[in-house]
Structure 1
């Protein structure tokens, strides 16, 4: 038999909403935070919201995956494949994850000065550093290297992503950027640029000169580290773009 248990019916110490008000969100377990989003628990037997939260985490951690890593890029279909998660609960979780991403990103985007590869990697870390599939992103700057925003342009497979100079420069122009940095991630953690990475960088540097829209760097990120192609290749000597600092 399947039925639900309301949070209000649980003992006080098992009520995650009350615990959040009492001790703060930072002190709640991940399963409790999920329980608040889920509202009620559903399944076989007497499964509470906290129990459903724990069950969701266990499902996300299958195949030795870190559940919070999975949540960053989980799809509605993946969530709804978990018993007890329908469209309403799936969309609630996805909305909360996206709000968290945007909140984190907004802290980095308050006109931060991007004057080094390290600063650029920090601004892009939330979008690229720990992703399981390759992503190509654009960092948009003003004339003083202040951050205007970041944008993920493409998401690829486990090992490759596609991007085009046309889309990159169009986005930069539409967003009124006067300088840019491009970046992508290598999910394997190997930061060595591929032949395609170098070819695309050369194309972008040539286009940036023609458009008078300087490309300050191309970063490769992965597994907590990054590589600056400006610092590790001679491409910027071949196609000067102006200073990073």
Structure 2
């Protein structure tokens, strides 16, 4: 909603503050041992927040907030660019096509949010079980992406036409492209979440910045000549960049961990 106002400065500050609060309220128990507070203290319910090294918490919360902002910006750039070069009707069609994938996106988001604490604990306890968990999540997201594409290919066009009228009767090809873009995004969620679980917040921020840059360049190149289809291709480009950057970074970190083991 904040991005729709085009106030990027307010959106960035809000994302940082929200992530900082969530980081301290829900993840504080696991963070305190990492910043020098003994395990015994971190397990107690009555934690004195005023003794917490706030500078270290800020150094963790700010990159998380910026990463969240960049991911939201990457998903909004195609809409914002499409609104500038086309009419409201085309923008509405694009939004409708994206909403078709929204239910599966919620499922993937729930899976990754539930898996993040387990990934973090597994990484600290046993790197082998951590890698197995990451591979399992990658297979789950792959299966969900394929299931989403099959469902859209089978009934997506019919559902959109039934819900929004005959004006969208010829959108089956566009829906398949949208399902591909979202499917790649589902896969990118695994290494991106793994970077956060390993507490590499700055690297996660850098990968988000790189993928957002790719998405922005694609918006400039693809949307003016191709319109709606160009916006869908832009989503695919951004998701692919996020997947590649996050996966390569995660792989490199695991190589370093094995070398240091």
TM-score range, shorter chain: under 0.3
TM-score (norm 1): 0.26
Q: Pick 1 or 2: higher relative contact order, CA cutoff 8 A, min separation 6.
A: 2
Larger radius of gyration: 1
Larger helix fraction of residues: 2
Give the TM-score, by structure 2 length: 0.25
Higher strand share: 1
